[in-house]
């Protein structure tokens, strides 16, 4: 979606590695707040972290780039990204 010349996008991501128990979700929440991203992030039963990032294209790309490394204690081994259309269905960013 393009709104006033600013393209909005959505990224659905799955992050694998040492990403649970290392403050990944809390750090992602803080980063999302700084970037104006909406959506959510949660730990999965299989040890991965899953997230949806929505917002301005540049901000979402920065969030995805950050997710490739995560906070200092994380070791990201793989990240899968599914680029989707922006839906505008979130008012904020939450960490579950």
Instruction: Catalogue all structural domains in the chain, each as residue range(s) with its CATH number.
Output: 2-95 (3.30.70.100)
Range in 32-36, 58-62, 84-88 the model is least confident about: 84-88
Percent of the chain with pLDDT over 70: 95
Q: Please, which pLDDT band fits residue 17 given cuts at 50, 70 and 90?
A: very high
Burial class (CB in 10 A: 0-12, 13-18, 19+), 12: middle
Confidence of residue 6 (pLDDT cuts 50, 70, 90): confident
0.85 exceeded by pTM:
yes
Residue 47 DSSP one-character state = S
Catalytic residues: 25, 43
18-43 average pLDDT score: 96
Tokens for 48, please give them.
Answer: 């991965």
CA distances to 4, 6, 7, 51 from 41, in Å: 28, 24, 22, 4
């Amino acid at each position: 979606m393009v709104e006033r010349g600013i393209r909005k996008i959505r990224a659905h991501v799955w992050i694998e590695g040492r990403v649970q128990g290392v403050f990944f979700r809390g750090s992602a929440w803080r980063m999302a707040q700084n970037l104006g991203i909406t959506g959510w992030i949660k730990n999965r039963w299989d040890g991965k972290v899953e997230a949806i990032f929505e917002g301005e294209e540049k901000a979402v790309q920065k969030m995805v780039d950050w997710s490739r490394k995560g906070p200092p204690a994380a070791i990201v081994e793989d990240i899968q990204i599914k680029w989707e259309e922006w839906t505008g269905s979130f008012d904020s960013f939450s960490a579950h």
